A and B are shown apart, each in its own frame.
Chain A
Amino acid sequence: MGFNFYDFTTFTHNLHLWFMEHMSPGWATTVEWVIVGVIYLAFVALLGLFLIWAERRVCAVFQQRLGPNRVGLWGLIQTIADFLKLMVKEIITPRKVDKFLYNLAPYIVVICMFLTLGAIPFAPGLQGLDFDIGVFYLSSISSLSVIGILLAGWSSNNKYSLIGGIRSGAQIISYELSVAMSLITMVILAGTMQFSGIVEGQRDLWFIFKGHIPALIAFIVFLIAGTAETNRGPFDLPEAESELTAGFHTEYSGIKFALFYLSEFINMFIVSAVAATVFLGGWMPLHFGGLEAFNHVMDFIPPIIWFFLKTFGLVFVLMWFKWTFPRLRVDQILTLEWKYLLPINLFNILLMTIVVLTKFHF
């Protein structure tokens, strides 16, 4: 099979050939789809449980307490127990909700989350969808999840939920601009929209170093806008606990609430993963063009470990944001986007274009 922990390309290719040998092409594709789907489901479930556990431990450190530490080693089983509890809880549907939309909403959010996750390259050859317009695909799919949140707020027949849903609509649509524009800035530098191509382009130097000032600005803007996209603190207005009780998912219980909760955490992972891929080289080890010995040492660490190190580093930063800052107000959130981030972004695109045209980069 040619399994290689450093490069999965040959392995997946051989696997595909093996299936083609033993089945008709139609069956082979179907089986591959199912396998990939199951792997993604398992990955999302495990990742969600791990992220929730990590968040609780990290926030405990910030808040000078211990966090879950009784169930299992370091409390690792705690989230599994919590998840089991959520699974068996009664699903309450309040009276006079729009039943169809109410039941549909969590799935839209989850489907968008899965579709976005598919475009992320974890390691060479380990990527669900590798489009030539990957960046474009990612930013368009990730903005679809706002529909699910809006529907949840609208259909719940709860005034708090409605306010939460509308807030989230205003927020995500606004910040989508900044996310897309900071990605476009990097696309100008990379010269491609394909994620595998973007990662390959960082073989000599990560883009955040290569593109120096404009890349750094784009990175910061992306982190801010990405946090806002995932509805996490300090931008957690749609579910502002002290104002709207729980915002758009007030009326959801049991597994449906768990789906919203899960997708919030996975979205945090996705934002970090995209930031890691576009700015910090994704699975590409830390390379400096010319330093052959250094690059060679770095290559000993498998790409998939590089990827998760960078991503979880950024996830930690996002958690740090959440547990440090107070929440913004709704008009301040829109002011921040339209009056500060957007002009900065537009200027930054111009700057990056000049930098690329004059080849004033490393």
Chain B
Amino acid sequence: MSEIKEIFVNSDKLKTDDYQINMGPQHPSTHGVLRLLIKLEGEIVLDVEPHIGYVHSGIEKMCESLAYNQIGHLTDRMDYLSAMMNNEAVSLCVENALQIEVPDRVKYIRTIMDELMRISSHQLWWSAYGMDMGATTCFFYGLRDRQHILNIFEDTFGARLTLNYNTPGGLMFDIKPDFQKKVKDFVKYFRKKLPEYDQLLTGNIIFQERTKGIGYLSLEDTIYYGVTGPSGRAAGFSCDVRKHHPYSAYPFVKFNEILDTAGDSFARYYCRILEMHESLNIIEQLIDNIPEGDYAVKMKGVVKLPEGQYYQRVETSKGDFGVFIESDGKKTPYRVKFRSPGFSNMFALNKMCKGLKIADLVAIMGALDLVMPDIDR
């Protein structure tokens, strides 16, 4: 009691502190175990400090003791929503190092699978974003459609989440005879369902009020923070690896790089919606023209990369994903480094959130499409 009295009598001793909140590691909208240390003044966010490391699994270090055809299996576990592209990045990197040219059939199938994966990732993101904004119904719409893609995956190679379909030198299995029909059915189905997404969420006035102008990041800041993928393209940063450094079958197809200039959460949202349309276009161009041929190149039992440093970029659903392998000529790499898009995207959070409300923080974080194991690998 006397302490309290003293504080109030000697008002110059009255100490005020920031209202600090730990958002996470267990919190419904951090999509995993991200911990945000937020300083608040009422509802207004003064500072956001992301703390990571809660699901650190040491994948890069583990890779140093694994053979080259085993590394891919770990990359599934990083950004599990872009597992196909992560696998492909490692495969391409090893193939380039060994200067193997895979058959066109492999390239086509890889690209189709990439785009299916991209759509499924965006579907899940859309579902979860709706959930973040309080529109729970979105969640079930998105998962309903994602089911079709996962069924195609399961029919083709028996996995739904950790895919392991791409290996150095080609693919694990050939596609099934009814693969083309199933994919075409899906494209037809999803073209009809995509407008539903717009009707349910995009056109909603509450949703637009919540996202337009929220989380603005200028083009300079986007490049400065290295924000890539749809989040970067929403600010006008032309960073589509598929366009600038084409790999697999991307040189053979015509598609647009979705660019926006608004740089806010709504632009990020809408870029992803448009990307789903674009992915459907890419699949349609390729699906009828899959060439006959082998589904893999015959590789040696033990793959040894020549001494040197190799880097390969691919465009995952989150952004620019890079694999760096330093080889000293042995059967395991000397050092492996992954450049994951989520990591760079997340650290722009503080810049975007300052002075906004807590609810905006959730809206911004959702629009960045963070997957924690991708950041904390």
Residues of A within 8 A of B (CB): 59, 62-65, 159-160, 163, 167, 233-234, 236-237, 240-245, 323-332
Contacts and interface: CB of A to CB of B under 8 A. Distances in A.
A326 B359 contact: no
Give chain B's interface residue range (CB within 8 Å of chain A). Answer: 20 to 34
Given A63-B137, A160-B21, A330 B144 contact: no
8 contacts: A63-B136, A63-B139, A64-B144, A159-B19, A163-B43, A234-B206, A240-B359, A329-B210
Given A242-B28, A328-B206, A236 B134 contact: yes
Contact of B357 (A65, A234, A330): A330
A87 B130 CA distance: 33
Contacts of A236: 134
B292 interface: no
A329 B136 contact: no
A331 B137 CA distance: 24
A174 B73 CA distance: 56
Contacts of A328: 206, 209-210
Nearest to A63: B140
Contacts of B131: 242
B59 interface: no
B359 A327 contact: yes
Contacts of A237: 359
Scoring A163, A233, A236 by chain B CB atoms within 10 A of each residue's CB, the highest score goes to A163
A206 to B, nearest CB: 30
Nearest to A244: B358
Contacts of A63: 136-137, 139-141
A328 to B, nearest CB: 6
Contact of B136 (A64, A163, A167, A323): A323
Contacts of A330: 43, 357, 359
A243 B358 CA distance: 7
Nearest to B22: A159
Which 7 residue pairs across A and B have the least CB separation, nearest first? A327-B134, A326-B133, A63-B140, A242-B29, A326-B135, A329-B359, A242-B132
A93 B328 CA distance: 60
Contacts of B260: none
B207 interface: yes
Given A63-B136, A64-B140, 5 more contacts: A63-B141, A159-B21, A326-B133, A326-B210, A327-B206
Contacts of A325: 134-135, 204, 206
B286 interface: no
B265 to A, nearest CB: 12
B204 A243 contact: no
Contacts of A62: 137
Contacts of B28: 241-242, 245
B134 A240 contact: yes
Interface string B17-43: 001010000011100000000000001
Interface in B131-184: 131-137, 139-141, 144
A244 B361 CA distance: 12
Contacts of B141: 63-64
A153 B132 CA distance: 22
B201 A326 contact: yes
Nearest to A327: B134
A309 to B, nearest CB: 26
Contacts of A64: 140-141, 144
Nearest to A335: B209
Contacts of A160: 21
B47 interface: no
A227 B307 CA distance: 68
A155 B131 CA distance: 29
B360 interface: yes
Contacts of A245: 27-28
Contacts of B19: 159
A324 B135 contact: yes
A242 B28 CA distance: 5
Nearest to A242: B29
A336 to B, nearest CB: 10
B130 to A, nearest CB: 7
B159 to A, nearest CB: 25
B358 A163 contact: yes
Scoring A234, A325, A328, A331 by chain B CB atoms within 10 A of each residue's CB, the highest score goes to A325
A336 B144 CA distance: 34
A310 B204 CA distance: 28
A233 B206 CA distance: 12
Interface in B325-369: 357-362
A243 B362 contact: yes
A353 to B, nearest CB: 31
A323 B359 contact: no
Scoring A63, A242, A323, A324 by chain B CB atoms within 10 A of each residue's CB, the highest score goes to A242
Nearest to B360: A329
Nearest to A233: B134
A170 to B, nearest CB: 10
A59 to B, nearest CB: 8
Nearest to A162: B19
A94 to B, nearest CB: 16
B1 to A, nearest CB: 17
Given A159-B19, A234-B206, A243-B358, A324 B137 contact: yes
Contacts of A234: 134, 206
A167 B43 CA distance: 9
A63 B137 CA distance: 5
Contacts of B200: 324
A184 B135 CA distance: 33
A327 B140 contact: no
Nearest to A62: B137
Contacts of A59: 136-137
A154 B139 CA distance: 32
Scoring B136, B141, B209, B358 by chain A CB atoms within 10 A of each residue's CB, the highest score goes to B136
B156 to A, nearest CB: 26
A65 B141 CA distance: 10
Contacts of B361: 243
A314 B133 CA distance: 24
A208 B363 CA distance: 39
Interface in B1-29: 19, 21, 27-29
